[in-house]
Amino acid sequence: MEGLVTIILAAGLGKRMKSKHPKVVHKVAGKPMIEWVVDAAKELGSREIIVVVGHRAEEVKEVLGEKVRYAYQEMQLGTGHAVMVAEDLLPEEGIVLILTGDTPLITASTLNNLVNFHIKENNTVTILSSVVEDPTGYGRILRDKSGNVIKIVEDKDATELEKSIHEINSAMYVMDIVMLREALKNITNDNAQGEYYLTDAVGIIRQMGGKIGAYVTPYEEIMGVNSRIQLFEAEKIMRRRINYKHMKNGVTIIDPDVTYIDAEVEIGADTIILPGCVIEGKTKIGSDCEIGPNCRIVDSEIGNGCNVMYSVILSSKVGNNVKMGPFAHIRPDNVIYDNVKIGDFVEIKKSIVKEGSKIPHLTYVGDAEIGKNVNMGCGSITVNYDGKQKHKIIIGDNVFVGCNVNLVAPVKIGDNAYIAAGSTITEDVPEGALAIGRNRQVNKEGWVQERIKKGRL
């Protein structure tokens, strides 16, 4: 679609969302609604995308950044008025694709069909329409007896007879720019909502002698999101699309209805995703993994052959063949190398864990560097915080840390060292040493008998 210019209307408040944020920045499958529409227009090959912003414009601009150009609509006087404020940015002639920011399910492929239909039919205006069971709330497409489109009537302005029409306006159109300019001059706000309707341009262009057509498409892609309930409905459809895409690529998803994968997530073939997983952001998961049940993975990279269950992984990198969980909490900024085992009730933060190390249960590792083949005993912890500052703990290769050990930072444990169970280590341990940092055990023989004799037990 070389040379195509697209306008996306996104200045409205979205009252029915009952939100302090503009409607179009609400997310569907982890991506703001407006971005879905912009990406579809980009994929289609739009040369230029103009987004009309108004209500809390800065929030919309924050989402889209430099990806698009902006037109500013100070007062939201209607969809026709919104196009008027973008008029100056349009080329002299040619066609313009007009979209709205609240239809995240639209795909580049449908838009491509719409534009091609417009060109093939030699239309002046082509409306993307749909025939639906319940048309309530939508503008209706009025056709004459021979089926030619005459105009669009808004729900609030429709007669009872017009309301019985099931073909609806998606608010997506291709229009001839010269004719659109002429029509915009003649739009009034003399209607039920006192707004300048873009839909009126359609009837006006017809009266000017333009050829109007409608390209009918299934409802799924044109569903508008106006309320939180519709947001959920769109989310449901988008999640299913994403899950099916992964399944087509060779990923097993046991139950897509309870698996939530964001748009940009990548997953390798033969990985199995068990129910209850929420996989977000720019996460990449390798092949032959088993993830879940019930994991939350955000902006993380996981290698091949990993097994992760009932765990949370945030902004971290995990190597190959790592076994994790149940109930591990991998907080941000960790690098976990290959063949590491992280067991139940383990929390790791801002740390490096090298190849083959095992942290099987009840351990906290923070601000630490753990070498290769280290064994962290049950209940061993890094004491990285002195109440004011964080300090580092460095553990060499092949170190054996016994159960219930406190490693008080800053401290360094040399390669091949052993730390006796129950130790509190406050000084560096040299390579190959055994460190014991606890009181010796004392057995007081006959103590119980003694007490009984004194009548104190």
Interface ranges with ligand UD1 (CB under 6 A): 9-12, 52, 73, 76-79, 81-82, 100-102, 138-139, 152, 154, 168-171, 197-199, 224, 226
Nearer to ligand UD1, 197 or 260 (CB): 197
Q: Count H helices, E strands: the chain?
A: 9, 41
How distant, in Å, are the alpha carbons of 395, 396, 415, 425, 435 from that of 431?
10, 8, 5, 15, 10
Residue 370 Cα distances to 161, 294, 358, 381, 436, angstroms: 75, 28, 10, 12, 20
Q: How far is the CB of 259 from ligand UD1 (least distance, A)?
A: 29
Nearer to Ca ion, 163 or 451 (CB): 163
- The one of Ca ion, ligand UD1, none whose footprint includes residue 364, by CB under 5 to 8 A per kind, is none
- CB 358, min distance to Ca ion, A: 55
Residue 12 contacts Ca ion per CB under 5 A: no
91 upstream amide cis, omega within 30 of 0: no
What is the identity of the amino acid at 362? Answer: L
Contact by Cβ (8 Å): 94, 195: no
Q: Which one of 54, 139, 224, 371 is in contact with Ca ion (CB under 5 A)?
A: 224
Q: How far is CA 438 from the centre of its chain?
A: 49
Residues 6+ apart with CB under 8 A from 4: 44, 45, 46, 47, 95, 97, 115
* Minimum CB distance to ligand UD1, residue 95 (Å): 19
Residue 152 binds: one of ligand UD1, Ca ion, none (C-beta under 5 to 8 A by kind): ligand UD1
| Closer residue to Ca ion (CB): 51 or 405 | 51
H-type helices in 148-264, by residue range? 160-163, 177-185, 199-207, 228-248
Rounded to the nearest 5 degrees, what angle is found at the Cα of 389, between the Cα atoms of 388 and 392?
150
CB burial class (10 A; 0-12, 13-18, 19+) of residue 166? middle
How many residues contact Ca ion, by CB under 5 A?
2
Of residues 197 and 337, the one with the C-beta less far from ligand UD1: 197
In angstroms, what CA-CA distances link 102 with 48, 333, 372? 19, 35, 51
Q: How far is the CB of 232 from ligand UD1 (least distance, A)?
A: 17
Task: Report the site for Ca ion in 79-108 (rule: CB under 5 A).
Answer: 102
Neighbouring residues of 456: CB distance < 8 A, sequence distance ≥ 6: none
Consecutive H or E run containing 449:
helix 447-453
Residue 324 CA to residue 306 CA, distance in Å, equals 8
Q: Which residue is nearest to ligand UD1 (CB)?
A: 139
In the complex, the smallest distance separating the C-beta of residue 270 from ligand UD1, rounded to whole angstroms, is 41
The residue among 102 and 280 lying less far from ligand UD1, judged by its C-beta, is: 102
Which residue, 170 or 363, has its beta carbon nearer to ligand UD1? 170
169 binds, among Ca ion, ligand UD1, none (CB under 5 to 8 A by kind): ligand UD1
Binds 366: which of ligand UD1, Ca ion, none (CB < 5-8 Å by kind): none
Active-site residue among 246, 329, 361, 391?
361
User: Of 198 and 306, which CB lies nearer to Ca ion in the complex structure?
Assistant: 198
CB of 292 vs ligand UD1, minimal distance in Å: 36
Alpha carbons 171 and 299: distance in angstroms, whole number: 35
154 binds, among Ca ion, ligand UD1, none (CB under 5 to 8 A by kind): ligand UD1
Closest approach, Cβ 246 to ligand UD1, in A, equals 29
CA dist., res. 37 & res. 183, Å (int)? 25
Query: Any catalytic annotation for residue 361?
Result: yes
Interface positions with Ca ion (CB under 5 A): 102, 224
Catalytic residues: 361
